[in-house]
Structure 1
């Protein structure tokens, strides 16, 4: 077990020796210092978990000087050692960030209790922060859902570039998760505590886009009755997401290029230059190189925003991800609706074999629509046909007609496995142990397949 380290700062050698012995008996690693300068030097090589600091220190013996030095120990709990007459100053030290205070003459048992409480709290705070960071990384990395090779590659790339400030261009068809990727890049970066500002470059009229991005000064134009901060200022320190950047007007492209080159801009009607620190992530479903050839997109801007290119796939190109996506969306719906939801085997097959021209967005909306009219927790073909009457009921696949099932070998095997699992569960009244025996599987093996296929 690692020893906790304590830095004891006091000008009395006898007290330092005595208190060091007390703390060493409590299994702490103690280093001492006779003054503030010595304490600062000690912290360079001694990473203390806690500081015990006398309020009256040489050379000035002025408690106010000691209080001003509390910031030098930031990140560590500081316990003030004081005399009884200095109680008000000790309380002021706590207001300034000290953890606690203890008065001389010091009771060794009281000292042990105060030190233990401070170190325990600090240790717990570090563990919670570590768990939050790990959770954020896990949830962030999993935000782009899928088990296909393409989805795995995108997640791996996100994890590698998220901690950097490299500019990213996310390309691909509409509805394939470009904004999800952009938000994930922000959430996993050192900018996560700052703003993620999204701008749809095609949704804001060209004549308003500049003032929206850069902000404006009072009197800059008719109706500008007071100063207004722009989206660039709001994103300072964080991430600016330029959605559908291919639709940005050419005049605005020139001004954006200057921002990316110099990190500065002028508000509309302003004469004072503003400096910003932002990470830019852009997205488009257009072929920007083709737009460059046409003259509707600046080549220099294209290479400025394209630090790393992440290209998403149409859902039709990764249909093996449909069950995983459905399960993720169902889990979110269950949390929001506070009820258990599941897809019947036929319903799952129907979802798997649609073309989904609207990609993941269309899949999600279709599932939410079906769930909204589902009277029970099980989403069936009856619910689907109510909303999509033009779609014939997806037939069950039997061993006789499985060869006529269109799809890859893996999809055919999965379809057959789903059909056999459903049949075994029906025959055993959902007794998973008995169903597993019928299928020649272990119970855990059956459960894994049920979860995998969303049966």
Structure 2
């Protein structure tokens, strides 16, 4: 595909000559004779680069031309002048020009300068596309799990992230509500802007307003200078309101006004601030119950609940435990610069616990066991040093009692298959051919089961 160049110069002879030079280099050139014509052309002719004469009619004032550079919307601009003026050259570069070239122009020099500028622009564009692609690959995938509920959440994240719809993430503590919120931001059109997290219950009620809205100097005792609030920091990006159910009623009224109008006043200020933010909220509370009891405003509830994403307790999706452990182990290996493994018994222990603290508790437990493992291969001996046998038994019993009545025959068969595959792989040190022979299935069949169960 031909790269496009917009040539802006008031000399017809030069436009024709330079146009020919550049066309021989396989560029598509559009030549215009004034800044006014360039303003009309830039929208229709999607140029990759602009060649801009410094002295243009009707003013013939270099400053007017320099002031017009932002109108070319980030495209590289090469300034052309009939005067080899070093000060103007430096000024043009300071204002964002890619380069500076003086008339009479050497065609070879012009070709080199143009080629370098377009190559840089092309590489930057490809890098941005790669970053966006990486974000799309990693964003929703950061919510880890093979369970049906985890897959549904990832699909929903991918679908609504590019929109501006407000999202309410609900579910037990430790189930990844902030992970979901960050994924929504990373996959959105706001990804290049800030992701600002506010824990509504961690900030005292009398300080929450000034933290969110900021304040002006002299607003209260101790306000010795202006302070920018978290709302302003999130402008253009995403504001994550964690545990919004703990927000005081007085603050709920003020937040509602922000969501309705997109404006607010800093504490003690008279100048209205305008913001453009996407709000993602999270809570482990039943907000509708709070609405009924009068501790949460109904109008605010429906403002923040555009789409509701509900997370499940880890005990309700135990098939996600091995996948989560794999991800956490990789992260720990990077931190500790050593290989980490779980014995089959240790893996089974992790799978059988109740994990009332959910994913957060699972991760903390794994990190604790890894920290005391002398070889990096975690065994039941390591686990028993941290978790007494009574605790293990009671935890397992709690897990079994909470799930045995709900687990279907298919799920019990899956649990048994996973345990047998783990034992076979452990016995044969990861050799899949030998493990498959022990299990009485083909190697390809074993590989499919390993992929299916995320082992």
Provide TM-score, normalisation by structure 1.
Answer: 0.87
TM-superposed deviation, 1:353:
1.7
Are the counterparts in 2 of residues 343 and 454 from structure 1 also a CA contact under 8 Å?
A: no
Mapping of 1:366-377 within 5 angstroms? Answer: 366-377=365-376
- For each residue in 1:384-431, what CA deviation from the matched residue of structure 2 results, as whole angstroms up to 9, or x when unmatched? 122112226999xxxxxxxxxx8753553454355346435634x555
Distance 1:269 1:94 in 2: 42
Q: Aligned partners of 1:453 and 1:384: how far apart in 2?
A: 24
**SS of 1:297 mapped into structure 2:** coil
- Structure 1: how far apart are the matches of 2:410 and 2:439? 20
Instruction: Name 1:280's counterpart in structure 2.
Output: 279
Cα distance in structure 1, aligned partners of 2:355 and 2:422? 27
Decide whether the 8 Å contact of 2:424 with 2:438 is kept in 1: no
Are 1:424 and 1:439, in contact at CA under 8 Å, matched by a contact in 2? no
SS at match of 2:296: coil
Matches within 5 A, 1:52-451: 52-83=51-82, 85-390=84-389, 391=392, 408-410=409-411, 412-413=413-414, 415-416=416-417, 418-420=419-421, 422-423=423-424, 426-427=427-428, 430-432=430-432
1:168–1:310 Cα contact (<8 Å) kept: yes
- Secondary structure of the corresponding residue to residue 116 of structure 1: helix
Distance 1:179 1:7, change over 3 A: same
Q: CA deviation at 1:176?
A: 0.8
Q: Provide the C-alpha distance between the structure 1 equivalents of 2:225 and 2:94, rounded to a whole number of angstroms.
A: 39
CA distance, structure 2, for counterparts of residue 154 and residue 36 of structure 1: 51
Moved more, 170-179 or 431-440: 431-440
| 1:156 partner SS | helix
List per-residue Cα deviations over 1:192-225 (Å, max 9, x = no partner): 3333222222223333333333334455444445
Query: Tell me, what secondary structure is at the counterpart of 1:80?
Result: strand
Asked whether the equivalents of residues 185 and 191 of structure 2 are also in contact (C-alpha less than 8 Å), the reply is yes
Residue 403 of structure 1 aligns with which residue?
none
CA contact (8 A) 2:421 2:435 kept: no
Say whether the 8 Å CA contact 2:84–2:102 is kept in structure 1: no
Segments of 5+ residues of structure 2 without an aligned counterpart are: 397-406
Secondary structure of residue in 2 paired with 1:85: coil
Mapped to 2, the partners of 1:110 and 1:266 lie a distance apart of 55
Deviation >4 Å, runs of 4+:
217-227, 392-395, 429-455
Is this contact kept in 1: 2:146–2:454, CA < 8 A? no
Q: Compute the displacement of 1:283 (Å).
A: 1.2
Does structure 2 conserve the Cα–Cα contact (< 8 Å) formed by 1:166 and 1:279?
A: yes
- RMSD of aligned C-alpha atoms? 2.8
Q: What is the match of residue 10 of structure 1? A: 9
Alpha carbons of structure 1 residues 148 and 269: separation in structure 2 relative to 1, 3 Å: same
Count of matched residue positions in the alignment of Structure 1 and Structure 2: 443
Please name the residue that 2:48 is paired with.
49
Contact 1:171 1:309 in 2 (8 A): yes
Could you say if the C-alpha distance between residues 262 and 64 of structure 1 is closer, same or farther in structure 2, counting changes exceeding 3 Å? Answer: closer
Q: Distance in 1 between matches of 2:237 and 2:188?
A: 9
Deviation of 1:438 (Å): 6.2
Distance 2:271 2:453 in 1: 59
TM-score w.r.t. the length of structure 2 is 0.87
Structure 1 residues 47 and 367, CA, compared in 2 at 3 Å: closer, same or farther? same
Q: Structure 1 residues 264 and 7 mapped into 2: Cα distance closer, same or farther (>3 Å)? A: closer
> What residue is the counterpart of 2:31 in the other structure?
32
Return the alpha-carbon distance in structure 2 between the equivalents of residues 245 and 374 of structure 1: 39
What is the Cα deviation at residue 262 of structure 1?
2.5
SS at match of 2:100: strand
Q: 1:31 to 1:175 in 2, by over 3 A?
A: same
Compute the displacement of 1:128 (Å). Answer: 0.5
